[in-house]
Amino acid sequence: MKPTENTAMESRRLASLSGRACGRDAAAGNVRALRAAMTLLVAGGLLFAMAPGARAALYKWTDERGVIHYSDKMPVDAVNRASVELNRDGTTVRKREQAKPVAQRMPRDETDEQRMRQEERDRVLASRRDRALMESYTNENEIELAKTRAVATIEGQIESAQAFIAQMQKRRDELDAKKSTFAPRPVPGEIAREIENIDAEVARQNTFITAKKKESATVTARYDADKLRFRELRSETGSVVVADETRVASNRGAALQLTSGKP
């Protein structure tokens, strides 16, 4: 074999070995790059999982009226309620049970137990009244308007009763004039009985008017107290409760009727 041919064969062998070495180096580089990418991916996932709010996007809970709420954080007044923590896909991440009430002091005797029960009932009723007050009105002017309407209703009933008394008094004057025409004869029984009925009805109407005047004072005091309590609650919450503008404030008074259906 000629020297030239030997040199060519040696060159080809060296080139082949060099190519194989480069291939092995490239494959090793690809493996190292893949491992680095996987490491970064895992680290990024861990950082995302540990980031605030990354695990859960919503809280779901039900208030005391059975209304379901969703928010990105639990309100202060609902932290002790049962809730469900959801992720951004709507999948349940965690469930929290209703917090158990703090153990209360045991009553010493039956009288103490009755007192504690009454205090709890009063507390519940006061809470309901406060909630109803804030849901019924959006400002103090609405309370004042409701008071004016309620008092006007009572005053209208008083005026109707007074007008009825005036009618009865007019009829009694007519009967008195008619009665004098029978002297010295006895007054007919039907005239005497009608006068007695008129006197009894006038007495009932006067009692009714007295009760209505007391009721008017009570209603006025109640609405004034509601306005004061509304102001306190609004100050505590630090904001005005917005209500439906179409809502009409109710007089919240019981139906008031005259003792007689005649007026």
The residues pairing with 59 across neighbouring beta strands, listed in sequence order, are 71, 85
89-92's contacts with Cβ under 8 Å and 24+ in sequence apart are 90/58
The residues pairing with 70 across neighbouring beta strands, listed in sequence order, are 60
Q: Which residues contact 162 (CB under 8 A, 6 or more apart)?
A: 205, 209
Closest CA to 85 of 98, 94, 76, 77: 94
The span from the CA of 193 to the CA of 249, in Å, is 47
Closest CA to 227 of 155, 127, 135, 147: 147
Q: Which residue has the tokens 């007019």?
A: 170
Other beta carbons within 10 angstroms of residue 229's beta carbon come to 16
- From first to last of its 263 residues, the chain has per-residue pLDDT tens of 444 555 556 556 555 555 554 455 555 555 565 565 555 554 455 444 444 444 446 777 687 777 888 777 667 666 677 787 877 777 887 777 776 665 566 778 888 888 888 888 898 988 888 889 888 999 999 999 999 999 999 999 999 999 999 999 999 999 988 888 887 888 888 988 999 999 999 999 999 999 999 999 999 999 999 999 999 888 875 544 333 333 333 333 433 333 333 44
> What letters, b where the CB count within 10 A reaches 16 and e where it falls short, cover 177-187?
eeeeeeeeeee
Token pair recorded at residue 29: 């580089």
Residue 32: predicted pLDDT: 62
The span from the CA of 112 to the CA of 123, in Å, is 16
The answer to whether the pTM exceeds 0.85 is no
Residue 8: predicted pLDDT: 55
Q: Could you write out the DSSP letters of every residue in 88-155?
A: TTS-EEEEEPPPPPPPPPPPSSHHHHHHHHHHHHHHHHHHHHHHHHHHH-SSHHHHHHHHHHHHHHHH
What is residue 87's three-state secondary structure?
A: coil
